[in-house]
Amino acid sequence: MSESISSIMEKAFDKILPIPKTPRVYHPPPPARPLSWIPHGQLGNGVYELRLGDFANEIKHIDAQKTSTIPYSSRGWCYLLEGLGKIQKGDFNSAQKAVNDCRKIGLLPIDFVAEDQDETRHFKGIIEASSPTETLTKIKKEVSDLLETIPTYATDFWKGEHYYVMMCVEKGDLLRLFKPICDEYHIPIVSSKGWAPILLRSHIARLAQRAEANGLIPVLLLFYDHDPAGLKISSTFRKNLEDVERGTNWNPESLEIERFGLNSEDIEQYNLTWIEGLQTSSGRESHDYEYIEKFGRKKCEANALFRSDETLKAAQEICRNAIEKYYGKDARERFKKKEDETRKKLSQIYDNEIWTDFDNAIVELIDSFSEKQEAKQQPTTAATKETIVFIDDHFYGLCPKCHTQFNYEKSDADKLVRCRFCSLPMRLKFKDKEVSE
């Protein structure tokens, strides 16, 4: 018997438009991922700059909690944030950019990070008018400081010693970290900022020559990154000094060179940050197969020691131990005793009445000029006038003084507000409305 019409129709629809036996369940798309703690974007974008404000406030709070007074570079700040668990090692470039963007627009002080140690980037010959009181006070302090340093410069600390120690580090952060310790032992310290230039090599040669002339063995302590370049600089430092031998008239054969950091055992002991990859500053990947075979494709910057107060103390201890290996544990006390003996020999300088007379005379001058200045009428500061700022429905507003963007609602029209960054009073006006003034 032939199939019924309904059966035939059902088979046809099953082929053309099959109906699933199990009802389909609708799954909504997953929610957006949370934003990074580090703001990402470009200056001029209002949302990005608002996020930078929150980021800057947290950085200020962290800075207030630091116990170390050593100024950090922007890279050093990355390691500190990484040590606090705020960022990961892959976030370093973004964190550096965010910190520097905050400085550019005034959310962090422009001098928030350590100053560039390159003196050629600092202005020379700046003259600023100052009051006689300020200048005289400065002179008084300078004279007092100079009197205190006379015994230091008049003492031959290396008489009776065996070694003369110098220190060369790779980066400015390390120079700032180690210099207070080197000062305690009267050790000259310098940053090569990578490979040592010819003039720096000549300075090392001159100091070493002077040490050898006094019967001392010159010692050069090195602290460089743990990467192919840093290790190569350390291992070839003597050859680089030999390369300028005819220019310096000195051969470094008697110079003792010791790399005291950053070494692999320090990285493991203090749980410092290894960075994956061996990309150089030029953007190329290093192919030092001897290094890769021993340590793998990873490196550790010396700035990693800035990740916490504990690692900073560890770095200072490493530095102190390297120095005392040659000068001994009692070096500071021994040098202090030598300086005290010099001070006693120079007692006639300090007992001279000229310094008391000078001090009394300059204090009188300071007081006399202070009275004159107080008598002057101080000009009153004029109140800042409000500025009309035009807005519309398409773009963020822009402060005419600091050029910071701001958001607004339609209800803000005709209101007097303040720029949240420079406090400029602004009267907001829509462009399509005529200004009654």
Q: State phi, psi for 257 to the nearest 5 degrees.
A: -115, 125
pTM attached to this predicted model? 0.71
Q: What's the DSSP call for residue 304? A: G
What average pLDDT does this structure show over 144-169? 92
- Give pLDDT, residue 409: 81
Contacts of 408 (CB under 8 A, 6+ apart): 391, 396, 397, 428
Q: What's the DSSP call for residue 185? A: T
What average pLDDT does this structure show over 261-281? 83
Widest pairwise Cα distance in the chain: 139
pLDDT tens string 314-372: 999 999 999 999 999 999 999 999 999 999 998 888 888 888 888 888 888 888 876 55
Spatial contact of 205 and 168, defined as CB atoms under 8 Å apart: no
Nearest Cα to Cα of residue 304 among 126, 171, 133: 171
Does the pLDDT of residue 435 top 50, yes or no?
no
- Give pLDDT, residue 1: 47
| Structure-model confidence comparison of residues 332 and 423, the more confident one | 332
Q: What's the DSSP call for residue 279? A: B
CA distances from 334 to 217, 269, 397 (A): 19, 32, 66
Contacts of 328 (CB under 8 A, 6+ apart): 334
pLDDT tens string 6-21: 777 777 766 666 556 6
pLDDT tens string 28-83: 776 666 778 889 999 999 889 988 998 998 899 888 888 888 888 888 898 888 88
Nearest Cα to Cα of residue 321 among 375, 376, 261, 377: 261
Contacts of 392 (CB under 8 A, 6+ apart): 430, 431, 432
- The neighbouring-strand residues paired with 388 are 427
Q: Which residues of 26-65 are buried (b: 16+ CB within 10 A; e: fewer)?
A: eeeeeeeeeeebbbeeeeeebebbebbeebbeebeeeeee
d(CA 191, CA 200): 9
Q: Determine how β-strand 298-299 pairs with β-strand 275-276.
A: antiparallel
- The neighbouring-strand residues paired with 212 are none
Q: Determine how β-strand 425-430 pairs with β-strand 416-418.
A: antiparallel
As a whole number of Å, the CA-based R_g of the chain is 33
- Give pLDDT, residue 329: 95
Beta-carbon count within 10 A of 201 CB: 24
pLDDT tens string 240-267: 999 999 999 999 999 999 999 899 999 9
What average pLDDT does this structure show over 159-175? 93
Mutual angle of helices 309-327 and 331-345, in 10-degree steps: 70
Nearest Cα to Cα of residue 327 among 197, 219, 177: 219
**The two structure tokens encoding residue 371:** 């009275």
- Give pLDDT, residue 68: 80
Q: Strand, coil or helix: what is 393? A: coil
Mutual angle of helices 46-65 and 92-104, in 10-degree steps: 100
What average pLDDT does this structure show over 429-436? 61
| Burial label, 416 (beta-carbon count in 10 A; 0-12, 13-18, 19+) | exposed
Task: Tell me the residue ranges of DSSP E strands in 262-318.
Answer: 275-276, 298-299
| Burial label, 349 (beta-carbon count in 10 A; 0-12, 13-18, 19+) | middle
